[in-house]
Amino acid sequence: MDGLFELLPLLILLAIVGLWLKLSRAREMAVAEARRQCERHGLQLLDETVGLSGVRVRPVHGQRRLERCYSFEVSIDGNDREPGRLWMVGSHFTGLSLPTIEARMRDDHDGPGTPPRTSNVIPLPPRDGQRRLH
């Protein structure tokens, strides 16, 4: 019985190291998935890193599993930093939240001196043969 109490600190240390290695591998998978999703959506992953921002219990196939949320930053046009998040259960990608390009559009088609629009509705030019009503 005395030997068990001597081994207990070593077992706890081994469990902590094992958990750290498992979480490091999960983070590496999250970085790879964030990179893939940014390429797919035409965004630039900034700092090439993600950070664990939350953990929640989620039912998956009738079992309760831990779902990890990772936060990262992306750039739409190279001059901005926007937040992004992805969720993973084990090594499986389960969700994604990215900024939209429409949210960052800044009157690209308007001339200089045009006041900024206050809504997200983009006016369409009139069709040929139709007049614009004011």
> Count of domains in the chain?
1
Task: Look at residue 122 and tell me if it is in a domain.
Answer: no
Q: Quote the CA–CA distance of 73 and 65 in Å, as a whole number.
A: 26
For residue 56, give its domain range: 2-106
- Chain segment 20-60, per-residue pLDDT in tens: 999 899 999 999 999 999 999 889 999 888 999 999 998 88
Mean pLDDT of 72-86: 89
Task: Look at residue 98 and tell me if it is in a domain.
Answer: yes
